[in-house]
């Protein structure tokens, strides 16, 4: 299962909050990512087992909602990808869309 099963929920949530300025204030980590004052993406982290690691399914959905590949999600999680870099990627994606 490789990359997908190795993400810690707390660390992932922290990275997304910090880098993407997501407001995970509700019961479940769920928020919109804003660019230029507009809602651009919807990000949600589910945890049906209550464990500390993101399940493969939840990680796959998170990756899709962020429009990233596994490597991109890993870079976002492990720090090399900054919020600015993520913003640039999304802007580029939106140009193609």
Partner 1 sequence: MEETELPFVKKIDASEIYLQNLKGMFAPIKLPEWMGSKGGRESFKKGKYPEYGTWGVMYEALTGREAIEGLKIVDELDLSEVKRQVDDLNSQVESVLSEVQECRQSISTLLDELRGKPVIKQTEILEIDATLEVIRPIPVVIEEYRDEVIASFTEIEAFGAGLCEAEAIIDLKNEIKKTFFELEEVSDEELGKLPISWKRVLSKVVKKIGNSE
Residues in touch with partner 1 (CB under 8 A)? 1-2, 4-5, 30, 32, 35, 37-42, 44, 46, 48-49, 55-58, 60-61, 64-65, 94, 97
Instruction: Give me the residue label for tokens 């651009």.
Output: 40
**What's the rounded Cα separation, in Å, for the pair 67 and 76?**
12
Rounded to a whole number of angstroms, the minimum distance from the CB of residue 56 to partner 1 is: 5
Closer residue to partner 1, CB minimum distance, 10 or 42 = 42
Closer residue to partner 1, CB minimum distance, 56 or 85 = 56
Rounded to a whole number of angstroms, the minimum distance from the CB of residue 51 to partner 1 is: 10
Buried b (16+ CB within 10 A) or exposed e, 9-29: beebbebbeebbebebeeeeb
Cα-flanking dihedrals φ and ψ of residue 40, to 5°?
-115, -45
Closer residue to partner 1, CB minimum distance, 10 or 44 = 44
Rounded to a whole number of angstroms, the minimum distance from the CB of residue 54 to partner 1 is: 11
First to last CA, the chain: 30
């Amino acid at each position: 299962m490789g990359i997908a099963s190795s993400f810690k929920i707390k660390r992932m949530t922290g990275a997304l909050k910090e880098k993407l300025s997501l407001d995970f204030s509700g019961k479940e980590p769920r928020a919109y990512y804003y660019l230029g004052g507009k809602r651009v993406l919807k990000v949600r982290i589910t945890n049906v087992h209550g464990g500390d690691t993101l399940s493969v399914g939840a990680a796959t959905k998170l990756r899709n909602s962020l429009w990233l590949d596994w490597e991109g999600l890993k870079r976002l999680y492990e720090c090399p990808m900054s919020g600015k870099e993520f913003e640039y990627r999304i802007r580029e994606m939106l140009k193609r869309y």
